[in-house]
Amino acid sequence: MSNKNKDYAFTAYPNFIIKEVMPHIDGNTFKVLSLIVRKTLGHHKKYDRIALSQFEEKTGLSRNTVLKALKYLSEHQIIEKFDRGRINQYRVIMPKDSSHKEQKSSSPKDSTSSGSEPSGSIIEPASVHNLNTSSVQTLNTQKKPIKENEINTTTKEGELERVINTWNAKFDISVNRNDKDLMECILSAINEFSEEQLSQAMDGRLESSYYRKHKPELLHQPKAFFKFTDTIKNDLHRQSNQLLTHKEYASMITEKGYSGDDFEMIDVITDKGTEKRWKLMKQAPGV
């Protein structure tokens, strides 16, 4: 009699991930990797397109946590990501792929995609955050007024590309570089705000319940963000009520039974500079 239980579906899961990868990554990263395994190897496919919204839905993680996990897995050559516009394509790098040559460096606009076969799956232990609260770096995020003829064109182009890539990585609708009006809006925003401020405003936009409840059609529209200075300012100050200080974060772990994997660490720009905050990602143990 067969031991297979036909009442349940199963996914083939590579042993090397359990033995060699899992001990070196955190729980959230393992969730993201497991979804990629399910969508590719689980369906007998080498590649699959997976939307960021699907990562969020299936793993229960925030978009920022998903993006951090994807970045770690890609940088450590555990997965390979191909930039395919709105929805990227992913695959798991199997041990037999280790003979491939190291990927060539790409241009800034292709920095989120390897575009070629990566080298072997070299896995390094995940870094552990050792926060030294006495030495928080202070950043001057104020833009100094500059004359148009003093602008370094190369620097501006690089800054423009980085801001566009940041938006495209976070939102479902990518920036259309052929839209001249939109590109001018982005340049104006760069002259008004620092890169750190724009990135934080994007995070505030994603985390805010305002857009999901009242303006869902505008949430992922780049022009609805970059075109209006007041919108960027408002999004910059949208912060979750669940953001905790280091003292509050430590108290949750020592007194209420949480673990570090239950939180997401976020850099928040304040008048004093860049500060660390922690966001609770799930309910208390046993709830």
Q: What is the pLDDT of residues 114-173, one digit of tens each?
A: 343 333 333 444 333 333 334 334 434 444 444 444 445 555 678 899 999 989 988 889
Q: Which two tokens stand for residue 136?
A: 């928080």
pLDDT value, residue 6: 58
Predicted confidence (pLDDT) per residue in 227-244, tens digit: 998 889 888 777 555 567
Instruction: Output the pLDDT for position 273.
Output: 57
Task: Using alpha carbons, select from 14, 18, 24, 10 the residue that is nearest to residue 93.
Answer: 14
Distance CA 220, CA 224 (A): 8
The arithmetic mean of pLDDT across residues 100-121, rounded, is: 38
The predicted structure's pLDDT at residue 123: 40
Domain spans, the chain: 15-110, 148-236, 243-280
Would you state the pLDDT for residue 153?
53
Q: Does the structure show a pLDDT above 90 at 30?
A: yes
Would you say residue 103 has pLDDT above 50? no
CATH number 1.20.950.20 given to 15-110 = no
Distance CA 112, CA 82 (A): 8
- Is pLDDT above 50 for 47? yes
The pLDDT, as a whole number, for residue 252 is: 80
Tokens encoding 166: 């940041």
pLDDT in tens, 55-76: 988 999 888 889 899 999 999 9
Please give the DSSP secondary-structure letter assigned to residue 126. P
How far, in Å, CA of 50 to CA of 172, rounded? Answer: 12
pLDDT surpassing 60 at residue 5: no
* Spatial contact of 40 and 91, defined as CB atoms under 8 Å apart: yes
| Tokens 């673990």 belong to residue | 259
What's the pLDDT at 139? 38
- Encode pLDDT of 202-225 as tens digits: 888 887 777 878 888 999 999 999
Q: Mean pLDDT score of the chain, rounded to an integer?
A: 74
Whether the pLDDT of residue 45 is over 70: the answer is yes
Give pairs for 143-151: CB < 8 Å, separation 24+.
143/191, 143/192, 143/193, 143/194
Higher pLDDT, 12 or 2: 12
DSSP string, 97-123: GGGSPPPPP--GGGTT---S-------
User: Do 51 and 85 meet the contact criterion of CB atoms below 8 Å apart?
Assistant: no
- What is residue 151's predicted lDDT score, i.e. its pLDDT? 41
Tokens of 48: 């699959």
pLDDT band at 283; cut points 50, 70, 90: low
Q: For residue 42, is pLDDT > 80?
A: yes
Q: How confident is the model at residue 274 (pLDDT cuts 50, 70, 90)?
A: low
